[in-house]
Structure 1
Amino acid sequence: MEAHGRRLLLLLLCCRAADCTRGSAHTGLGQLYPPTNITFGMNGMFCLFWKWTPTDNTENCSLLYKTNILSSVYPPPGGKDKYPNYTKFLDARIDLNKNLILKVYTECDNKTSDLKYFTSMLATGNPRTLVKNLTCVWHYREYVICTWQPGEDAPPSVNYTLRYWLTEEYTCPPAENKQPTPFIDLLDEGEPCQNYTHHSGIPVGCQFKLEKAFNDFIRLVAVVSDRSQNIKPYIYFIEVNAIAKLKAPVINEIKITQNNSVFVSWNVSNTLKAVVYGVQLEMSNSEKKEAYLVFTGQSKEFPNALPDVTYKVKVRAKLAIGLPDSHDQSLWSEWSDEKILQVMEGERTTSIVLLLLVPLIIITAAVFLLIYMKRLQILIFPQIPDPGRVISSDFQQWIKYGKSVYNEPKKDEVCVVSLLETPPSSSQVE
């Protein structure tokens, strides 16, 4: 018993020494306390906002408040500031429909206070009344459509409404002189959606216009609640570029090439973004539909086309965000109109003949040119006659001596013809 008492006393002394050592490492000569009186709300519709009472600075050092938002998924970066508040722009990694846990503590030179955890909720209410599986899709440069399913404990006569907010900002406004605004006070400031779809009389979706482009970098907050406020609001935040759905491509050409391949080309979506294309090929001699991904370019070639086989091809598109083969198929565009190409045996034979005939014609033409090159040269570059053979020697003599070489033409000798009359004879006179 005495030995046991000694060991217990020694343990208490060791614990006391450890506490003293830890206290001096954290607080030094004075006590450093974490923030207190924390309040929570919004700084506008796109920024979470915590504010607390400033800590007493008993050590006359530069106080800093370090904060982190704890999340079940990969947590976003925290903050570090001298002001007794923390405002954070909405982040897709933060689940806004669950408890938000803020970890905050005070730092002063090399000393830190104890950690303070503050749990808060954006919107109160029974979580079983929340709508389920809320998703939104942006049909690029046209409209956004959001769909959902009723909550488990939602009343049968629930009348859902959707309000939305859009912004091109990505930073929070200054918050030093502000107080957090309760989330519920901001709901009436949103734009009400008008074009609802219903199932069994209950709104299960809504559509609103969004004719912006990708380079506008739009952020969206959508809140689905009940007009009577009997259910807990569901809060949805996303960058609309991440939910963009492109228009279906248009196949421009499908043909058999000279090397006996099926060639398909389509238009390129004018999105200023990287696009991945999905190509589906179906052949009449097989029940299997082959799928291909095209990450660059606007065409696809399928080698070794078979004779007497009908090929059916269609194309769809998706922004190259995340994995193109992910389970979320809602962001793929609709399929293009199906194009059909029937490869006949004669066409295949013609392609093979042309493939052999073209090189043969080129070789024959080359041989022909080599053989008749001389004649061709004469036709193209005719021979110039020798001036020495054309110009007379007299002309050369005139050039050499400067004498006239002109000879007057000789006169032709002309015989004068006279008419001689014979005198008539006596007999003729008589």
Structure 2
Amino acid sequence: MDLYRCRLLSLLCLCAHWTRGTADTGPGQLYPPSNITFEMKDMFCLYWTWTAIQSNENCTLWYKTEISSIGHKGPAGKTTYLHYAKSLDNRVNLNENITLKMNTLCDNRTSDVKTFTSSLTSGNPRTMVRNMTCIWDYKEYVNCTWRPGEDTPPNVNYILRYWIADGDSCPPRVNKQSTLFRDLLDGGELCQNYTSYSGNTFGCLFRVDPRMEFKKFLAVVMDRSQNIRPYIYFIPCINSIAKLKAPVIHLKRTPNNTVLVQWNVSDTSEYDLEYNILSNTDKQTEKVAASNKEFFNILPDVQFAIKVRVALAQRRICSASPDDPVKKFLWSEWSEIKTLPAVTGGRITLIVILLLVSLVIIVATILLLINMRRLLILICPRIPDPGKVISRDFPVISYGWAESVAAVWKTRLQRAQERGSQSGVVTRHSTIVFSSGTGPQVETVNKFYSRTFVYTL
């Protein structure tokens, strides 16, 4: 019994040794980074730093990052450094808490996710301005408007500061120290031309250099006494808030039932056009390179009314990333409606002409059918039958030459007599003498001429 127990104990010790050896030689557990801090490199660059957990891993540690806010989610990132910089992204609401999710990657293993939440601004969210919008009257002024917050204290002295920057990448860490967002609010350009009503400020107007196309734009509305929470308005491409002037259009009718529409857009040569034909509710959008367009099959007796509006041509350069669709730019106001009045009587005249042409064709067809036989004879005359002609001119050929000649002359004289009697001409008697081998033969016939014909056979 003791021997059995000794063997069992030896087996258990051996198993414990194998288990301990396997745990010691395998990889250790991965941990997410710690001591995460959040700052700004500049007004357009978010910046996080962290500390890695010491481990004896034989692989390169990667850190996966994902930025999000309430109701919004930005693109994921991946780095081997102990810091992560990300340019401002309009897919993340900068006025909400920004959440950074991180975990550590090593070969095919992943650590738990570490979540870090921070905010660019501080204060009561109900004191921020609401419904802020900015519109750039192309190559002129930027007009920003807003509404006061729900819990805004009275007599708030609003101010607006704005920044315009180029490029999408964050500056290198060695060139610029990180700082807090609130420490950067004293920079930027201060708007001077405010719009007020009944003592309340609800907007500001400032000029922007036309050379600032396709650049990032950020504006912050706050108060001088810092009693309200600042509101951040960010646009990754200032062209997306540009608004062209309403075009001026001209209409002209051209031959072949065509209407030529011309317009004038002086601000740019690249734009999208949308037109609305009011006479048939036709509304279409197209990219136009020319300053005119022809509309076909517009009858003169139909009224033609149209209005157009334009927007800057869309470009990929104004998207947040190559995978994002290009957002439509702002449309200008509709142009003044231009109308070509209908030409009265035009359709009636056309109908009358068509009826007259149809009537002429019908009458001509009927006359052609009636006179078809005569026309056929006139065009293709009949070939006379030789037998009938010979029998008519030589009816008694069987009697011999003399008899045949006499018969012919007799027939001709009878016809002449008939014509003479019909016309009232007095005929005379003529004597025709035929001489043959049997002797002369005399036959008296009525003839116009008083002559004697003697034939000697």
TM-score, length-normalised on structure 1? 0.66
* Worse-superposed segment, 184-193 or 312-321: 312-321
Q: Secondary structure at the match of 2:240?
A: helix
How far apart, in 1, do the equivalents of 2:260 and 2:269 lie?
26
Of 316, 340, 345, the match for 2:309: 316
SS in structure 1 of the partner of residue 341 of structure 2: strand
Deviation, structure 1 residue 38 = 1.0
Q: Is the 8 A contact 1:28 1:111 kept in 2?
A: no
1:231 paired to 2:228: yes
Find 1:303's aligned residue among 277, 297, 308.
297
Q: Spell out the pairing of 1:95-114 with structure 2 (5 A cutoff).
A: 95-114=93-112
3-state DSSP class of the match of 2:164?
strand
Kept in 2, the 8 Å contact 1:34–1:113? The answer is yes
Measure, in 1, the Cα distance between the counterparts of 2:127 and 2:135: 23
1:23-422 alignment, distance < 5 Å: 28-72=26-70, 75-175=73-173, 180-213=178-211, 216-238=213-235, 239-251=237-249, 253-268=250-265, 271=268, 273=270, 275-282=271-278, 290=281, 292-297=283-288, 298-301=292-295, 303-305=297-299, 307=301, 310-319=303-312, 321=314, 331-345=330-344
Aligned equivalents of 1:295, 1:100: Cα separation in 2: 39
How far 1:351 moved relative to its partner? 9.4
CA change 1:85–1:351 in 2 (3 A) is farther
Gaps of 5+ in 1: 1-19, 284-288, 323-327, 355-430
Q: Does the 8 Å contact 1:73/1:93 carry over to 2?
A: no
d(CA) in 1 for partners of 2:45, 2:300 = 61
Instruction: Work out the CA distance in 2 between the residues paired with 1:31 and 1:179.
Output: 34
- Identify the residue that residue 415 of structure 1 maps to in structure 2: none
2:272–2:311 contact (8 Å) kept in structure 1: yes
CA contact (8 A) 2:160 2:222 kept: yes
Contact 2:240 2:329 in 1 (8 A): no
Contact kept, 8 Å, 1:260 with 1:348, in 2: the verdict is: no
Contact 1:40 1:180 in 2 (8 A): no
Deviation at residue 74 of structure 1 after TM alignment: 5.8
**Which range moves more in the overlay, 241-250 or 73-82?**
73-82
Distance 1:87 1:242 in 2: 25
Give how far 1:143 is off. Answer: 1.7
Of structures 1 and 2, the larger Rg is shown by 2
Aligned residues: 317
Change (3 A) 1:351 1:44: farther
What CA distance in whole angstroms lies between the structure 2 residues aligned with 1:60 and 1:291? 68
How far is 1:189 from its partner? 0.6
SS of alignment partner, residue 189 of structure 1: coil
In structure 2, relative to structure 1, the CA distance for the partners of 1:351 and 1:43 (3 Å cut) is farther
The SS at the match of 1:241 is helix
Report the alpha carbon displacement of residue 319 of structure 1 after superposing the two structures with TM: 3.2
Q: TM-score, normalised by structure 2?
A: 0.62
**Preserved CA contact (<8 Å) 1:71 1:101:** yes
Distance change (3 Å), C-alpha of 1:145 and 1:70: same
Question: Which structure ranks higher in relative contact order (CA pairs < 8 Å, sequence separation ≥ 6)?
Answer: 1
Provide closer, same or farther for how the CA distance between residues 291 and 72 of structure 1 changes in structure 2, counting only shifts above 3 A: farther
Which amino acid is the alignment partner of residue 301 of structure 1?
F
Name the SS for the 2:150 alignment partner: coil
Cα distance change, pair 271–74 in 1 and its aligned pair in 2 (3 A): farther
Partner of 2:454: none
Separation (CA, whole Å) in 2 of partners of 1:54 and 1:72 = 28
